Structure 1
Amino acid sequence: MTLFDEVPERAAPIGPLVRVRATVAYDGTGLSGFAAQPGQRTVAGTLQAALERVLQHPVELTVAGRTDAGVHGWGQVVSFDAAPDRFDPARLKAAVNGLCGPAIVVREVASAPPEFSARFSATSRLYRYTIVNRPDPDPFLARTAWHVPTPLHLPLLELACDPLLGEHDFSSFCRRPKGEPGASLVRRVVDARWEADPAAGPGVLRFWIEATAFCHQMVRSIVGTLVDVGLQKRTAADVGAALRARNRAAAGLVAPPHGLCLWEVRFEPED
């Protein structure tokens, strides 16, 4: 059984269904983002096709956070409904991974309360951005890290995180949704920090940011601006000024997508 085998059209399941929660990891290289797009290879399109093949009925995915083309995921969460007589967590996980792996892998799968939604039940999302900061690139990190050869000043990077914490209008760091000129870009950042990761290799820097929600290109725009601070082209005060400006031109360039990874989605603990 492969994803390329022709599959007859199947009817939607009838009767009570099982709400399923799955944690998904994927290498975004060569994928056109998470959301399904006609004629494009995406995470959702590939995963949905595999689930429908294994469950033998149509599946509608709800996702915690849609990632752009080239962005990776380690702790992405999806939810969907499955017919009870076809839902075997271990079998489903193994079969989907056989069809989609290693580029897309289901790490965990389990039943969830009927009201659970990967999108609306999430309380926050945690992203990680990786930079290789040394003169020579790393061939083993090239797919998942941005190579910045000029030395970055880590204490300045750390200082520049302070203005981001709390609730702000992130218009300067976001691409406004098409057709929604009045959409709010106010978001609440609960954590933002940099750290060196010598275990991953010399010069490897990680930027972690957690918020209740993110707008389009927010993390990458923030990283691009903070790198300017690390290069001493901007100051930490400039980051705060960019926030207050509410103007995309006030922030730095958008960092490349391949350094970004949706690391974890947090939910309220179940009773």
Structure 2
Amino acid sequence: MSLFDPDPEPDAAVSGADRHPGGAAPGSGPPAPAGPLVRLRLLVAYDGRGFHGFAAQPGQRTVAGVLGAAVERVVRHPVELVCAGRTDAGVHAWGQVVHVDVVAATGDAQAPAVEPAALQRACNRLLAPTVVVREAAPEAPAFDARRSALSRRYRYTIVNRALPDPFLAATAWHVAEALDLRSMQLACDAFLGEHDFAAFCRRPQGAGAEDPLVRRVLDASWRETGDGVLRFEIEASSFCQHMVRSIVGTHVDVGLGRKRAGDMSWIIRGRDRALAGAPAPAHGLCLWEVRYPQDDRGGAGSLARSGAGQRTSSTRNPA
């Protein structure tokens, strides 16, 4: 697989000068939109290398920065991007979901002035292959890429053999020592359900040591795809920062015999970051899929789920 497999945190709208690499001055871009707006949903894939994460940051090259600039160039007015998962620096995405409001067509307040398919093609001419808009479609005004999501699924890839694979080096962590996959799979059981994951998360700025970081994990599993390639997939309603990578790093400790599968429960209960393993490298992680209520009904955006399924033979029960 040539295209990849946060860590997300609560996402903020991306707007203003911070959205653009180099920090263009306010007012230097296209004029503000006049008239009604239509909400679009974008399904986005990106190679996280070379980006300082998804969210806009002053003076940093980010996915939101280049994507927002491309959309603005096409629709000719400022936009705000809201994403489902704010991935960290170096983390990839295959199923990132973004919503954006664009000006409506003259005489039809329900349709965008720029057709979604035309917006998709134009953005991809500007951004591909590093960032690709896989899909663009109108959405209901109430749809929110972050708040409407039922769950996020992440995938982490490890190459577990003596020699690294140059074709997977950008999207997989090479671990030369043999890993005990059975023990790593047993370690998954402790994570299912609702827990305080303070031992596996980087605390948000301003949070106290006793503030809980409770998340509900719906699925977690390891599998071998062949030729020493291991994949960890985890689905949860939401994640705290570094949660997936810290879980993977701790599971690798189990696979190497440094920890036992049975240690996971007391590590979770201990709520101490020092008890868990170091975070796995960012480049092995990919935001694979985001689920929404309307997707389960086969409505708008269902391709966000079917697209993920086309890239992997695993089924729900995979980050």
TM-score bracket, normalised by the shorter chain, equals over 0.9
Instruction: For structure 1, list consecutive stretches of 5 or more residues without a partner in the other structure.
Output: none
* Match status 1:229 vs 2:248: no
> 1:193 maps to what in 2?
221
State the Cα distance separating 1:15 from its structure 2 match.
2.3
> 2:148 maps to what in 1?
121
- Alpha-carbon displacement from aligned partner over 1:93-126 (angstroms, at most 9, x marks no partner): 0100111110000000000000000000000000
**Corresponding letter in the other structure for 2:161:** R
**Corresponding letter in the other structure for 1:74:** W
> 1:59 maps to what in 2?
79
* Match status 1:75 vs 2:95: yes
Q: 183, 193, 216: which one pairs with 2:241?
A: 216
**Corresponding letter in the other structure for 2:34:** I
State the Cα distance separating 1:13 from its structure 2 match.
1.4
State the Cα distance separating 1:9 from its structure 2 match.
2.7
**Identical counterparts, % of pairs:** 60
Matched pairs, number: 265
> 1:164 maps to what in 2?
191
- Alpha-carbon displacement from aligned partner over 1:152-176 (angstroms, at most 9, x marks no partner): 1111111000000000000000000
Aligned residue for 2:230, secondary structure, equals: strand
User: Given that residues 26 and 72 in structure 1 are in contact (C-alpha distance below 8 angstroms), is that contact kept between their aligned partners in structure 2?
Assistant: yes
User: Given that residues 177 and 183 in structure 1 are in contact (C-alpha distance below 8 angstroms), is that contact kept between their aligned partners in structure 2?
Assistant: no
Cα separation, 2, equivalents of 1:130 and 1:205: 6
Say what the alpha-carbon RMSD is for the aligned residues: 1.6
State the Cα distance separating 1:211 from its structure 2 match.
0.2
Cα separation, 2, equivalents of 1:115 and 1:184: 30
Cα separation, 2, equivalents of 1:184 and 1:59: 34
User: Given that residues 35 and 43 in structure 1 are in contact (C-alpha distance below 8 angstroms), is that contact kept between their aligned partners in structure 2?
Assistant: yes
> 1:205 maps to what in 2?
230
TM-score by length of 1: 0.94
> 2:68 maps to what in 1?
48
TM-score by length of 2: 0.80
> 2:5 maps to what in 1?
none
- Alpha-carbon displacement from aligned partner over 1:14-50 (angstroms, at most 9, x marks no partner): 2221111000000001111001111111100000000
> 2:207 maps to what in 1?
180
Cα separation, 2, equivalents of 1:74 and 1:50: 19
**Corresponding letter in the other structure for 1:122:** A
Cα separation, 1, equivalents of 2:30 and 2:64: 19
Aligned residue for 2:60, secondary structure, equals: coil
Q: Which contiguous aligned blocks of 4+ residues in structure 1 show a shift greater than 4 angstroms?
A: none
Within 5 Å, give how 1:99-178 maps onto structure 2: 99-178=126-205
Aligned residue for 1:98, secondary structure, equals: helix
**Corresponding letter in the other structure for 2:247:** I
- Alpha-carbon displacement from aligned partner over 1:131-180 (angstroms, at most 9, x marks no partner): 00000000000000000000011111110000000000000000000123
> 2:304 maps to what in 1?
none
**Corresponding letter in the other structure for 1:123:** L
State the Cα distance separating 1:208 from its structure 2 match.
0.2
Cα separation, 1, equivalents of 2:40 and 2:223: 35
Cα separation, 1, equivalents of 2:197 and 2:69: 36
Cα separation, 2, equivalents of 1:64 and 1:127: 12
* Match status 1:252 vs 2:280: no
State the Cα distance separating 1:235 from its structure 2 match.
0.9
**Corresponding letter in the other structure for 1:259:** G
User: Given that residues 89 and 109 in structure 1 are in contact (C-alpha distance below 8 angstroms), is that contact kept between their aligned partners in structure 2?
Assistant: yes
Cα separation, 1, equivalents of 2:286 and 2:222: 15
> 2:6 maps to what in 1?
none
Cα separation, 2, equivalents of 1:132 and 1:213: 27
State the Cα distance separating 1:183 from its structure 2 match.
5.0
> 1:95 maps to what in 2?
122
Aligned residue for 1:197, secondary structure, equals: strand
